[in-house]
């Protein structure tokens, strides 16, 4: 799509989310994620992977990256944190314990065995303790949205990604249920 068409479509729509939903195709955000991989932009790849595969929100991506052995030091931590754990079996375990609806639900745990994702997390872990870090300090949560938008296709936010993804899977009830569980939101939010 050329720039003129993009601008015309944007002018016709009420918001960036409406514009994204009516213009951007699911395949484009997948290609964008692959381009981040090709350019060795590991954090950007991780951000896009988690937004696309799990339809998560910005703060879900505020993770501490640790090995399985190091996780023992964090386990009894009373603060609720999100972790990307490099497991001994070579997979990544993503624990979401600090997310929007965590007061009503327990920690969400996912085992991820995607080779590119695993490689990207390991590369980040070589130099960083946090997914969002600057000079060995955790980036403030207020700044994470901007960093995520810099990583996404056309600087879209997580809500626009969510809407594009649910539109793509509109006819697949099984996939929509999976999205509702992973976000987590009520099924009504995914179907309508």
Band of the pLDDT at 189, cuts 50, 70, 90? low
The predicted model scores a pTM of 0.83
Which run of H or E residues covers position 163? helix 158-168
Please tell me the total count of domains within the chain: 1
Q: Quick one: average pLDDT of 154-158?
A: 91
Distance CA 179, CA 79 (A): 27
37-49 as b/e: b if 16+ CB within 10 A: beeebbbbbbbbb
> Residue written as tokens 């990583």?
151
87-139: pLDDT as tens digits: 999 999 999 887 665 555 678 889 999 999 999 999 999 999 999 887 677 88
- pLDDT for 140: 80
- pLDDT for 137: 75
Band of the pLDDT at 86, cuts 50, 70, 90? very high
Label residue 186 exposed, middle or buried (CB < 10 Å: 0-12, 13-18, 19+): exposed
For residue 107, give its domain range. 3-191
pLDDT at 184 over 90: no
- pLDDT for 100: 60
- pLDDT for 51: 96
Q: Quick one: average pLDDT of 53-71?
A: 92
Label residue 70 exposed, middle or buried (CB < 10 Å: 0-12, 13-18, 19+): middle
pLDDT at 142 over 70: yes
- pLDDT for 106: 73
Band of the pLDDT at 18, cuts 50, 70, 90? low
- pLDDT for 15: 54
- Among the listed residues 39, 93, 103, the one whose alpha carbon sits nearest the alpha carbon of residue 63: 93
Of 77 and 31, more confident: 31
- pLDDT for 22: 64
Of 149 and 182, more confident: 149
């Amino acid at each position: 799509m050329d720039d003129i068409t993009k601008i015309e479509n944007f002018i016709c729509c009420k918001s960036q989310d409406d514009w994204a939903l009516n213009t951007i195709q699911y395949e484009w955000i997948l290609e964008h994620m692959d381009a981040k991989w090709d350019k060795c932009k590991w954090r950007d790849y991780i951000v896009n992977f988690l937004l696309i595969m799990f339809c998560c929100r910005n703060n879900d991506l505020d993770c501490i990256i640790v090995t399985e052995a190091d996780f023992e030091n964090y386990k009894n931590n009373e603060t609720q944190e999100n972790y990307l754990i490099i497991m001994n079996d070579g997979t990544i375990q993503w624990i979401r314990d600090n997310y929007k609806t965590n007061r009503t639900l327990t920690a969400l745990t996912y085992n991820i065995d995607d080779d590119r994702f695993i490689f990207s997390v390991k590369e980040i872990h070589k130099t960083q303790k946090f997914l969002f870090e600057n000079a060995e300090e955790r980036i403030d949560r207020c700044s994470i949205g901007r960093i995520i938008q810099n990583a996404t296709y056309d600087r879209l936010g997580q809500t626009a990604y969510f809407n594009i993804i649910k539109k793509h899977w509109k006819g697949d009830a099984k996939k929509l249920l999976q999205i509702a569980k992973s976000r987590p939101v009520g099924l009504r939010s995914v179907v309508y």
